[in-house]
């Protein structure tokens, strides 16, 4: 019984302490520093060694302009613990009082501590960074490295150079560190990518490009060719990346897998012409079965996407020829799945598609490949309006590969199945959950459908227009484009001026783009721009119009003002970065 009461007492104390911490944090976040100070002072009495509580207490003193109290607290702690970072805190306390000379004395003392004991750099440099004293932070790392050459702070130095606006030194430091420590390359490339995305005038990208080209020219190491290829991929300059990859392959012909991956990226970015050129190079230069199948799979997919109905017989014959040549096996699964999808969705023979799938399921496949096959089977069942059977297979994939990207894709398709069935309550719940998916494409897709259902339910509680819209989307899914066009045009006539109008125009625009009816597509987008410029689809209408003028019709003068509107009026758009880059290129700000 005694132990029980002790347990209760301890539990209550811990609960009370946690409450006090939350309360202090609440007042601090709210800006009520007087109450926050009292809370942190009390917390500090219980755990005097707690650094975060101490720093918050000092910050509260400083926010309240109680600089003497802050100085006394820091000095007392410095005398007790003798930590070098507290010298930074003392200096900063004087800096807040505009006493720069006194602040510098303590900052220099902190740097002297590093000279005597380089291990102190971690606490001292971090304190400088938190106070945004970036030059001192940089000096801290440089001092430590000078005293102890085995210390490597190139990554931290590169970041600081970037924050200080010294991009030339940032690039040089990062590239040198990438070469010296290849395992850090991905981390460094992630940082470079951020600067490349935020590069409004093209100077950073040009500087990085020149830096890489210089290293390629000076060194015979393929490391720099790979790095330059990565750079061109970030810029979506796949032809230039291909030149680097070919140079790498000529000197090291062990594998073409990187070139196949480059083709995949070109396909994803809709640069089909370049993708075909890359894939044909692969076919000419390899006998590796896996790479051959990958290349043929991509090439067939490109042909199907561009094909007219008159091309279907030849494509079907080509797929059958490839499967005859390479045989039915787990290695050729991607070709089997393409064949199943093609005969179901293009040749309108879902029975044959299912037969191909069931034959594939008899092969010895791992869990991921089984999931791929089941996904295609579910897609075909959905094509046949066998909604419940499709949902069963999507659910199996979700259960078999929990928390995997493939499982999230199955969840998205299950949500769309509910949407096609006009079970909007269940579909809305699923799309809401998928909005926070780790995969950006899935999250964006889910958000689009969530907004579609939610907005049109608020506007029309009977969901009559939404049901008709879902029917149009289902016709699109079945590859019945002309019937879908008729359905969406009917919606425009029946529900003119209503909530559903803008998204219907957007759907029609995308269909016309797919069929290369670019002027018709532009007319749909222009309707959104003219009559729905305060709606959620305006940035898409602007961007898609700009892309047609820029990439399809080659009318740059018409594309530029559309990109510009996105840049200045729609900074939160998912197309903002791409619009800014395209605008900059059209304006001639960069020669990338």
* Distance from the first to the final alpha carbon of the chain: 77
**Is residue 449 packed enough to be buried (19+ CB in 10 Å), middle (13-18) or exposed (0-12)?**
buried
Are 527 and 509 contacting, i.e. CB atoms less than 8 angstroms apart?
A: no
Lowest mean pLDDT among 10-14, 270-274, 332-336: 10-14
pTM, two decimals, is: 0.79
Describe the chain by its helix, strand, coil percentages, rounded to 5.
80, 0, 20
% of residues, the chain, pLDDT over 90: 82
**Model confidence at 34, in pLDDT bands (50, 70, 90)?**
very high
Q: Which long-range contacts (CB under 8 A, 24 or more apart) does 57-60 make?
A: 58/89, 58/93, 60/28, 60/33, 60/34, 60/36
**Model confidence at 113, in pLDDT bands (50, 70, 90)?**
very high
- List pLDDT tens digits, range 318-334: 999 999 999 999 999 99
- Distance of alpha carbon 183 from alpha carbon 322, whole angstroms: 40
Q: Which of 257, 270, 262 is nearest to 234 (CA)?
A: 262
pLDDT of residue 264: 92
Q: What DSSP character marks residue 536? A: T
**Model confidence at 18, in pLDDT bands (50, 70, 90)?**
low
The HSE-up count of residue 60 (CA atoms within 13 Å, CB side) is 24
pLDDT of residue 590: 47
Q: Which of 406, 365, 347 is nearest to 339 (CA)?
A: 347
Q: Which long-range contacts (CB under 8 A, 24 or more apart) does 415-422 make?
A: 415/446, 415/449, 416/449, 416/477, 417/382, 417/387, 417/390, 417/391, 418/391, 419/449, 419/453, 419/470, 419/473, 420/382, 420/387, 420/470, 420/473, 420/474, 420/477, 421/387, 422/463, 422/466, 422/467, 422/470
What average pLDDT does range 499-508 have in this prediction? 95
What average pLDDT does range 358-387 have in this prediction? 96
What average pLDDT does range 175-193 have in this prediction? 94
Lowest mean pLDDT among 102-111, 132-141, 437-446: 437-446
Give the angle subtended at the CA of 19 by the CAs of 63 and 3, to the nearest 5°.
Answer: 140
Give the H or E element holding residue 494.
Answer: helix 481-494
**Model confidence at 299, in pLDDT bands (50, 70, 90)?**
very high
Are 138 and 160 contacting, i.e. CB atoms less than 8 angstroms apart?
A: yes
pLDDT of residue 592: 39
For the cut 70, the answer to whether the pLDDT of residue 4 exceeds it is no
For the cut 60, the answer to whether the pLDDT of residue 77 exceeds it is yes
- Distance of alpha carbon 112 from alpha carbon 154, whole angstroms: 21
- Distance of alpha carbon 575 from alpha carbon 499, whole angstroms: 23
**Is residue 462 packed enough to be buried (19+ CB in 10 Å), middle (13-18) or exposed (0-12)?**
exposed
What average pLDDT does range 355-364 have in this prediction? 95
Torsion of CA 299, 301, 303, 308, to 10 degrees: 170
- Distance of alpha carbon 435 from alpha carbon 439, whole angstroms: 10
For the cut 60, the answer to whether the pLDDT of residue 147 exceeds it is yes
The per-residue pLDDT of the chain, averaged, comes to 92
Q: Which of 430, 399, 393 is nearest to 415 (CA)?
A: 430
What average pLDDT does range 480-496 have in this prediction? 95
Are 128 and 90 contacting, i.e. CB atoms less than 8 angstroms apart?
A: no
What average pLDDT does range 543-554 have in this prediction? 93
- List pLDDT tens digits, range 395-441: 999 999 988 899 999 999 999 999 999 999 999 999 999 988 888 88
What average pLDDT does range 100-125 have in this prediction? 96
Are 578 and 566 contacting, i.e. CB atoms less than 8 angstroms apart?
A: no
Lowest mean pLDDT among 77-81, 396-400, 580-584: 580-584
Are 88 and 128 contacting, i.e. CB atoms less than 8 angstroms apart?
A: yes
Give the H or E element holding residue 500.
Answer: helix 500-514
* Inter-CA distances, 284 with 251, 278, 280, 289, 292, Å: 17, 10, 6, 13, 10
- List pLDDT tens digits, range 281-297: 999 999 999 999 999 99
């Amino acid at each position: 019984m005694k132990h029980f009461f002790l347990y209760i007492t301890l539990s209550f104390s811990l609960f009370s302490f946690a409450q006090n911490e939350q309360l202090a944090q609440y007042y601090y976040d709210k800006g009520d520093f007087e109450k926050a100070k009292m809370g942190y002072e009390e917390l500090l009495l219980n755990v005097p060694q707690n650094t975060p509580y101490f720093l918050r207490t000092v910050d509260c003193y400083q926010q309240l302009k109680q600089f003497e109290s802050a100085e006394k607290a820091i000095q007392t702690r410095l005398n007790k613990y003798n930590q070098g970072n507290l010298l930074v805190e003392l200096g900063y306390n004087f800096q807040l009082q505009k006493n720069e000379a006194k602040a510098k004395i303590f900052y220099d003392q902190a740097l002297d501590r590093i000279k005597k004991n380089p291990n102190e750099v971690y606490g001292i440099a971090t304190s400088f960074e938190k106070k945004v004293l970036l030059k001192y932070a940089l000096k801290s790392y440089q001092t430590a490295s000078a005293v102890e050459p085995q210390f490597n702070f190139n990554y931290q130095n590169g970041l600081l150079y970037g924050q200080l606006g010294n991009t030339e030194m940032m690039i040089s430091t990062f590239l040198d560190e990438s070469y010296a420590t290849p395992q850090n390359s991905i981390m460094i490339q992630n940082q470079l990518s951020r600067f490349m995305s935020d590069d409004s005038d093209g100077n950073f990208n040009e500087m990085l490009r020149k830096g890489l080209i210089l290293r390629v020219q000076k060194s015979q190491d393929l490391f720099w060719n790979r790095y330059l290829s990565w750079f061109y991929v970030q810029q979506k300059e796949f032809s230039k990346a291909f030149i680097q990859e070919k140079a790498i392959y000529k000197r090291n012909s062990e594998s073409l897998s990187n070139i196949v991956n480059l083709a995949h990226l070109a396909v994803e970015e809709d640069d089909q012409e370049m993708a075909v050129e890359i894939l044909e190079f692969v076919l000419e230069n390899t006998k590796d079965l896996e790479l051959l199948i990958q290349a043929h799979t991509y090439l067939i997919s490109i042909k199907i996407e561009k094909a007219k109905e008159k091309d279907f017989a030849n494509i079907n014959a080509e797929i059958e020829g490839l499967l005859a040549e390479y045989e039915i096996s787990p290695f050729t699964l991607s070709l089997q799945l393409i064949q199943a999808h093609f005969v179901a969705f293009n040749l309108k023979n879902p029975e044959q598609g299912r037969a191909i799938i069931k034959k594939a399921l008899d092969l010895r496949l791992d869990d991921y490949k089984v999931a791929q096959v089941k996904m295609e089977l579910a897609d075909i069942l959905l094509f046949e309006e066998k909604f419940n059977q499709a949902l069963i297979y999507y659910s199996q994939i979700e259960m078999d590969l929990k928390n995997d990207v493939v499982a999230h894709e199955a969840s998205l398709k299950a949500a769309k199945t509910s949407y096609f069935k006009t079970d909007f309550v269940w579909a809305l719940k699923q799309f809401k959950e998928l909005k926070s998916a780790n995969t950006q494409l899935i999250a964006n897709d889910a958000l689009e459908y969530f907004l579609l259902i939610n907005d049109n339910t608020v506007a029309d509680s009977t969901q009559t227009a939404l049901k008709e819209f879902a029917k149009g989307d289902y016709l699109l899914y079945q590859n019945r484009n002309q019937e879908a066009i008729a359905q969406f045009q009917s919606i425009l006539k029946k529900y003119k001026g209503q909530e559903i109008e803008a998204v219907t125009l957007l759907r029609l625009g995308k269909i016309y783009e797919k069929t290369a009816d670019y002027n018709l597509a532009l007319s749909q987008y222009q309707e959104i721009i003219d009559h729905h410029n305060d709606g959620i689809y305006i940035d898409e209408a602007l961007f898609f119009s700009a892309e047609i003028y820029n990439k399809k019709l080659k009318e740059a003068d018409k594309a530029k003002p559309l990109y510009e509107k996105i840049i200045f009026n729609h900074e939160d758009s998912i197309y903002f970065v791409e619009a800014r880059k395209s605008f900059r290129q059209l304006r001639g700000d960069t020669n990338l």
